[in-house]
Chain A
């Protein structure tokens, strides 16, 4: 089964990279973008079919490695 994990900085956590991208868009003349926050996307193939099992494995992967939950949130999108 395939899944996508999206990791984003928690709101309130300073994102200097997002700020830099925001500034670059402005200098390129791309108007109307109020703010940019940068995150990460992981595409995973999970070696299980049972949905509960897949969910368990994904949550484990996120909690143990993919996100640092002190400053990051994660969202799981699976088939």
Chain B
């Protein structure tokens, strides 16, 4: 993959028809690494040579037709994304990107309609559950961070066996919580099982999360708690 040890990882952001957070992600990646990411079109067959990190951004790919992320998960570029993940390459799916990764089978479970039926667009606290991955090394376990959420279908659901496996293996990345870090009750915005806001695959090289860390990288918009993720990724080899 990377040829020079000290060069920042090469990132690629995949754009589907209806993606709308690709600019936000590109800004966060560039801020952290100094290098703008490649922008890859959904109909491309290959990722740019030497790609280390693939980001599937938020939005409403294909108008959320059929199920959120269902059509994008079958787009031509996804074969290359799956192959990249199978090689151990890093993949980050945010919001609609998380839905796409679940639909593509790269992450377990599914994102259902919010239990309260409303589209949620506001700040939300998260508790960092695992601080030992290429995505989360900039945080500490139990740390409470504040990021934005903006989704109508973020209600994470998985069967009991799959849930037990996630919990047992430390694959829950973030949980919804209140400002003090307490989980449960009203701190859960969308009904997600076990307050799950993001999960890793078995090899911890694929992360999907509903919240938007890429929108909290500038004090101008109310916080910088998202920076640590992009800095960790910029430092990841």
Contacts and interface: CB of A to CB of B under 8 A. Distances in A.
B112 A13 contact: yes
B39 interface: no
A70 B109 contact: yes
B74 A65 contact: yes
Contacts of B50: none
Prevailing SS type, chain B contact patch: loop
Contacts, number: 33
Interface residues of B, number: 18
Interface string B97-137: 00000010000011011111100000000000000000000
Interface of B: 66-67, 70, 74, 103, 109-110, 112-117, 155, 157-159, 191
Interface residues of A, number: 13
Nearest to A71: B110
A16 B74 contact: no
A22 B67 CA distance: 22
7 closest A-B pairs (Cβ-Cβ)? A16-B117, A16-B113, A70-B110, A71-B110, A68-B110, A68-B67, A20-B117
